Amino acid sequence: MNPQQQTSTHLRLLPWPGPEGKPAHLVTDGTATPLALLADDVEEQQIEAAAVVLGLARAMVEEAAGLTTGELRFVCRRLCESLTDVLNVAESRGRRVPAYAPGAG
Give residue 1's pLDDT band: very low, low, confident or very high (50, 70, 90): very low
The β-bridge partners of 26 are 12
Task: Give start and end residues of each alpha helix (H) in 63-102.
Answer: 69-96
Which helix (DSSP H) or strand (DSSP E) does residue 61 occupy?
Answer: helix 34-62
**Which of residues 30 and 49 earns the better pLDDT score?**
49
Geometric angle at alpha carbon 70, from 59 and 53, rounded to 5°: 35
**Which of residues 104 and 45 earns the better pLDDT score?**
45
- CA quadruple 13, 17, 21, 27: dihedral positive or negative? negative
What are residue 98's phi and psi, to 5 degrees? Answer: -65, 150
- Report the predicted TM-score, pTM, of the whole model to 2 decimal places: 0.78
Give residue 28's pLDDT band: very low, low, confident or very high (50, 70, 90): confident
DSSP SS3 for 30:
coil
Mean of pLDDT values over 79-83: 95
CB atoms within 10 A of CB 47: 15
The overall average pLDDT reported for the chain is 86
- pLDDT value at residue 76: 92
Mean of pLDDT values over 37-51: 96
